[in-house]
A and B are shown apart, each in its own frame.
Chain A
Amino acid sequence: MILKKSVAISETGFIFNPATGDSYTVNPIAAEILQLLKAAKSLAEIKQEILQQYDVDEKTLEEDLSDFSSHLQQLGLAEHEA
């Protein structure tokens, strides 16, 4: 999955999609994930990164990441890799 190039992410967790004009807020962990996506990391890499930093088990994280990424697609902020 890749984040659409035009999507702007501020350091404070403010997201702007110039294609639609919609703005979003995210919590710190979501901001971190978005930054990693922006840096072209894969979901598998992101998972490892989060597992190292946060107190969470792999199963929970996998479920949440999958839900989060499908939500990003639903919002039109991300798309499947071509």
Chain B
Amino acid sequence: MTMEKKRYERPVIQKLNSGLLNKFGSATEIKPLTEIDGVPVKRLVAEYGSPLFVFSERQIREKYAEVHKIFTTRYPKVKFGWSYKTNYLNAICNIFHQQGSWAEVVSGFEYEKALQNGVPGNKIIFNGPDKTAADLQKAMANNSLIHLDHMDEFYLLNELAAAGHKKPRVAIRVNMDTGVYPIWDRFGFNYENGQAWSAINKIMTSGNFTMVGLHCHIGTFMLAPSAYGIAADKLAALFVRIKNKFGHTLEYIDLGGGLPSPNNLKGAYLPGNDLVPPIEEFADTIANSLLNSDIAPNELPLLIMESGRLLIDEAGYLIGTVIANKRLSTGRRATILDFGVNSLFTSFWYNHKISPAQEVSNYKEDVELFGPLCMNIDVVRESVILPPLNTGDRVVAQNVGAYNVTQWMQFITMRPNVVLIDDQGKPHIIRRAESLDTLNQMEEMPAHLKTFKL
């Protein structure tokens, strides 16, 4: 009988620093993440390769139900609009549509995607500063909710509406001071200086529009619930002012997105779990502002929320593989992974939690994680405490569901497979990995460049 050999781990020596201690200390144990929704990481990599994005359908549905309940138990009429730019893989969008989300889009292409997914036109919210005449025509024909961003758009839509004898359903995006800086004043019409009220007057008196709502989106990864309360107060004041002056009752107030996920923002003193206020606090302040406003109880508008990150971030994982280990000139450890900033775009602003995907010892070292790109900017984590990883070991980056599969770049390497694990624990490919053919099919070669001699 041969004796089974012991699991190998790279020899590690680490200096003990007795000096200033981190007042929070650090976890003494690093838990490996060996499976996602019951499916072993090993099996996922064997079947779909590495790197690999994995989404959990169960987690998406559970999170949606949780956040939806938080809002609907505080305010009588609530609708979520799925923010396409956060993650517009069709399978992901359709999970949200099955849960009851409308679509919230910010470009003609996203608008078309929502239509093709089967979202009725009148349940698509069209935001953003870039809507072409053709986009507006289509949105108007489909009775979509067009959120005007600037006066040029107002004049364009006004012309199109007059020519087409069709009354588009519109809202305006309002920007405002909510006590959080910088103010996002590049989108929409300003509240404090009267721009918003002036635009509302133009819309109401033009006769070419049906004004149905008010919209704002005050920022991103917002950590102050009070800011949403101020935003709701201001939109409610406009709602009442429209009612008083024109006798017109709007259908909805859309407070946009920007609610945070428990991710670790770079530069933040505290980790995400300690920094991010409970979502109940956001819902409380929004509901209180609307319910306590001067809006008549029988005319309370529908509250639309366009949360993206909050609903999807935690349901996304990125599995990767250790390509190599090296020591930097300073003696520090560096590990090269097979995914970098091209796939994990959000590593530019988050310190993503990264866990080993196999059993590890309790010994840890400070290591810098690089991606595979031959570019100096390709840093996944500047500093992270991990057990010694061997070449070929797997790691899992967590909370990567938002913005990565939309902002990822085909740069140096190809975008990898994306898999969804369904409610029953069965994986499905929802986006195939790109290949050289994917790229080449879009290129054209002029005849005189077809051949060369070296």
Residues of A within 8 A of B (CB): 15, 22-30, 33, 53-56, 60-61, 64-65, 67-68, 70-72, 74-75, 77
Contacts and interface: CB of A to CB of B under 8 A. Distances in A.
The 10 closest A-B CB pairs, nearest first, are A27-B363, A30-B11, A56-B8, A55-B5, A54-B8, A68-B11, A23-B16, A26-B13, A27-B12, A64-B10
Interface residues of B, number: 20
Contact of B391 (A26, A28, A54, A60): A60
B84 to A, nearest CB: 45
Nearest to B361: A27
B159 interface: no
Nearest to B11: A30
28 contacts: A22-B15, A23-B15, A23-B16, A24-B13, A24-B15, A25-B16, A26-B12, A26-B14, A26-B363, A27-B11, A27-B12, A27-B363, A27-B388, A29-B8, A29-B11, A53-B5, A54-B8, A55-B5, A55-B6, A55-B8, A60-B8, A60-B391, A68-B13, A70-B327, A71-B13, A72-B13, A75-B15, A77-B13
B14 A29 contact: no
Interface string B12-27: 1111100000000000
B130 to A, nearest CB: 52
B162 to A, nearest CB: 74
Interface of B: 5-16, 325, 327, 331, 361, 363, 388, 390-391
B13 A30 contact: yes
B336 to A, nearest CB: 14
Contacts of B331: 71, 74
A75 B11 contact: no
Contacts of B327: 67, 70-71
Given A26-B13, A55-B8, 8 more contacts: A25-B363, A27-B9, A29-B9, A30-B13, A54-B5, A64-B11, A65-B11, A68-B12
Nearest to B4: A55
Contacts of B388: 27
A50 to B, nearest CB: 8
A18 to B, nearest CB: 15
A76 to B, nearest CB: 11
Contacts of A24: 13-16
A4 to B, nearest CB: 14
Nearest to B10: A64
Contacts of B7: 54-55
A65 B15 CA distance: 18
Contacts of B363: 25-28
